[in-house]
Each structure stands twice: as structure tokens, then as C-alpha cells.
């Protein structure tokens, strides 16, 4: 028997495999491929207080080893999310984390407050790290003092699990990690996408409507690994690793480094059942290597 259970804050997860916000919709989109109940957690697409249309096309470009996006947070707003998405999401038999963004620190707090009245939500992931919007987005995680304040405001509104998702597009992710720890976060997820740009030589134009966007996929795995390593050295918070995880080996490498869990993002577009495959792959690895509990493996990297 292999035990993949993990605990973050006071919440138990059946395994350390989650799906990253914005790459798994609101879960119903993936049900033809596998039952999302097998995951450790589902993390929803970002929810804001009000409707947002997102950025104009082109919003997505394939690049070598990855993908650039500039989606710009399109969503119908928190009230329609509660009415239209929660009935399905709460039926999934695993943990549910709602990813939240806002133009101001007060908007984050108001969205948390509105979701507090809703059953079936285990926690929130505060998205301080969208690279593709003018207000909010990166400005919240580029400044450690602001990140601490926004976290502390949200903390006052909830006892549910509070995760902060950080950007790699800063001088010191460690400083921001320390700040959200001081602000009362229960965990950190990292990294969001890396700012990048692509050009169409034939049209002599940028490929994205917003010129720059967020790079994700296999190309960013080494960056994610270095940032997770830095955060592990600077904070005592549980770390949920994101960035370029395409298979079981990638996921195991981040756990070996010391992440308590992983989120799979862009690979969901390549193999919609990758989440299930990685859960099974980690269980197989543990069985083959006589690891009875995943925590016996986590953080056992030899440096």
C-alpha cells in the first residue's frame, strides 16, 4: 500500500497532484477524459469580482518547448461563478481551491468574503502574478510590502486555506515569499508564467495582441525549479510547485526538491488526462522504490 496523502495547513489532500488555474477550466471540460476526483485538488480558472472580457486576440502562441499566453483574465465574475460553476465543482470528490484576482487589494478581500458563504470550497489561491493585465496582476507580487498587505487583508476574511501564487518576474521571489508568510498565507504556489515575447517575421508584427505575454510549458521548468529552491530556503511555508511539469518524472523532481505538491498546467492542453497519469505514475514509483508514504520522499534531495 502506498500512501500519497499530504496535509497543507489543516487540510488533507488525497495526493500531491493538482491542476493549475486557467489550464483546467472549471473541471467539467475535462470529464470526458478522466474523473477529476482522482486529483489531489482542482484549482479553478481565476475569478474576479465582476465580468471581464479578457484581452483581444491573438491570445495564445506556441513557442519552442512552450506556449505564450495573454488571456487577460476573462471570466463572468464571482456571482455567476457561484451560480453557474459551483454546483458542478462541489460534486467532484476532491479538494477545491478557487483562484482569485483583483484590481485592488480590496477586490481580493471582497471576492474572498463573497465565496466564504459558499459550501464546497476548501481554499483560495490569490493570484498576484498575472502578467497580462494593466491593473493588479504583477504589481501585487512585484512589491513585497504590497503582497504582504493584500495577503493580510484576505487572511482577515477567511480561515480556509490561503495560498498565494507568485510570479518569477521579480528580482527576489524570496523577499515576496517572506512577505506573504508574514501576511498570514498558509502556502505558496510558484511559479506563474515568465514574461516573454514572440514576433511574426512575415507580418513584421508581434504575435500577441498585447505584445508580451506569459511563457509556460517545458521551457520554464528549470526557472521554476530555481525559484522553488529559493523560496524553500527563504520561507517555512509549504511550497506547491508549478512550471513545466509534463510527466511523472518532472513532478517527482519537484517533490524531491521539497515541494509538498505540484500543479500541472500547460501539459493539460497536450494530454488532458495528464493529471490522472501523474497520480498513477507517482504511486507506481513509490511502489517500485518501497516508499510507503510520499512524505518519506519529499525533500530528500541530496545537495
Catalytic residue numbers? 130
Nearer of residues 54 and 281 to ligand RRO, judged by Cβ = 54
Nearer of residues 129 and 246 to ligand RRO, judged by Cβ = 129
Which residue's C-alpha cell is 504511486? 283
Confirm if 9 and 71 have CB atoms less than 8 A apart.
no
Which residue's C-alpha cell is 500512501? 3
- Residue number with the smallest Cβ distance to ligand RRO: 214
- Footprint of ligand RRO on 200-239 (CB under 6 A): 214
Nearer of residues 46 and 235 to ligand RRO, judged by Cβ = 46
Spell 268-298 as b/e; 16+ CB within 10 A means b: beeebebbbbbbebbbebbeeeebeebbebb
* Residue 266 in the binding site for ligand RRO (CB under 6 A): no
Q: Is 19 helix (H, G, I), strand (E, B) or coil?
A: strand
Which residue's C-alpha cell is 498575472? 130
Per-residue x/- marks for ligand RRO, 13-42, CB under 6 A? ---------x--------------------
Output 280-285 pairs: Cβ under 8 A, ≥24 positions apart. 281/247, 281/248, 281/251, 282/4, 282/15, 282/16, 282/17, 282/248, 282/251, 282/252, 282/255, 283/2, 283/4, 283/15, 284/248, 285/248, 285/252
- Ordered alpha helix ranges (H), 53-104: 78-80, 86-89
Q: If we measure between CA atoms, which residue out of 243, 215, 218, 245 comes closest to residue 131?
A: 215
For the chain, the 3-state helix, strand and coil shares in percent, each to the nearest 5, are: 35, 20, 45
What's the grid cell of residue 167?
Answer: 510570479
Which residue of 73, 166, 240, 291 would you call a contact of ligand RRO, by CB under 6 A?
73
Residue 215 Cβ vs ligand RRO, minimum distance, rounded to whole Å? 8
Q: Name every residue whose Cβ is closer than 8 Å to that of residue 13 and which is 6 or more positions away in sequence.
A: 5, 6, 7, 40, 41, 94, 95, 261
Nearer of residues 35 and 62 to ligand RRO, judged by Cβ = 62
Q: Residues touching ligand RRO: how many (CB under 6 A)? A: 16
Nearer of residues 58 and 298 to ligand RRO, judged by Cβ = 58
Nearer of residues 216 and 248 to ligand RRO, judged by Cβ = 216
Which residue of 46, 48, 266, 267 would you call a contact of ligand RRO, by CB under 6 A?
46
Per-residue x/- marks for ligand RRO, 99-138, CB under 6 A? --x-------------------------x-xxxx------
Length of the chain: 303
Which residue of 15, 23, 48, 69 would you call a contact of ligand RRO, by CB under 6 A?
69
- Among the listed ranges 4-12, 28-36, 63-71, 238-246, the one in contact with ligand RRO (CB under 6 A) is 63-71
Segment (H or E) for 277 = helix 274-288
Per-residue x/- marks for ligand RRO, 164-193, CB under 6 A? ----------------------------xx
Residue 72 Cβ vs ligand RRO, minimum distance, rounded to whole Å? 5
What are residue 17's phi and psi, to 5 degrees?
-110, 120
Residue 214 Cβ vs ligand RRO, minimum distance, rounded to whole Å? 3
Binding residues for ligand RRO, rule: CB under 6 A, are 22, 46, 69-73, 101, 127, 129-132, 192-193, 214
Amino acid at each position: 500500500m502506498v500512501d500519497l496523502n499530504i496535509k497543507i495547513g489543516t487540510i488533507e489532500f488525497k495526493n500531491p497532484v493538482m491542476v493549475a488555474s486557467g489550464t483546467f477550466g472549471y473541471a467539467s471540460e475535462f470529464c470526458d477524459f478522466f474523473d477529476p476526483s482522482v486529483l489531489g485538488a482542482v484549482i479553478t480558472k481565476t475569478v474576479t469580482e465582476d465580468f471581464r472580457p479578457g484581452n483581444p486576440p491573438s491570445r495564445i502562441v506556441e513557442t519552442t518547448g512552450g506556449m505564450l499566453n495573454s488571456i487577460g483574465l476573462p471570466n463572468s465574475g464571482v456571482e455567476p461563478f457561484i451560480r453557474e460553476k459551483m454546483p458542478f465543482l462541489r460534486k467532484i470528490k476532491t479538494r477545491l481551491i478557487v483562484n482569485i484576482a483583483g484590481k485592488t487589494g480590496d477586490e481580493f478581500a471582497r471576492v474572498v468574503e463573497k465565496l466564504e458563504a459558499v459550501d464546497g470550497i476548501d481554499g483560495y489561491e490569490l493570484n498576484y502574478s498575472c502578467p497580462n493585465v494593466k491593473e493588479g496582476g504583477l504589481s501585487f507580487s512585484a512589491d513585497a510590502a504590497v503582497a504582504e498587505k493584500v495577503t493580510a487583508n484576505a487572511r482577515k476574511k477567511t480561515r480556509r486555506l490561503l495560498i498565494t501564487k507568485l510570479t518569477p518576474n521579480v528580482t527576489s521571489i524570496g523577499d515576496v515569499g517572506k512577505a506573504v508568510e508574514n501576511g498570514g498565507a498558509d502556502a505558496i504556489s510558484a511559479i506563474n508564467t515568465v514574461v516573454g515575447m514572440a514576433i511574426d517575421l512575415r507580418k513584421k508584427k508581434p504575435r500577441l495582441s498585447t505584445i508580451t505575454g506569459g511563457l509556460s510549458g517545458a521551457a520554464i521548468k528549470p526557472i521554476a525549479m530555481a525559484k522553488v529552491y529559493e523560496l524553500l530556503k527563504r520561507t517555512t511555508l509549504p511550497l506547491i510547485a508549478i512550471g513545466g511539469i509534463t510527466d511523472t518524472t518532472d513532478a517527482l523532481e519537484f517533490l524531491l526538491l521539497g515541494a509538498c505538491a505540484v500543479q500541472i498546467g500547460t501539459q493539460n492542453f497536450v494530454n488532458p488526462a495528464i493529471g490522472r497519469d501523474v497520480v498513477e505514475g507517482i504511486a507506481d514509483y513509490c511502489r517500485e522504490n518501497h516508499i510507503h508514504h510520499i512524505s518519506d520522499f519529499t525533500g530528500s534531495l541530496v545537495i
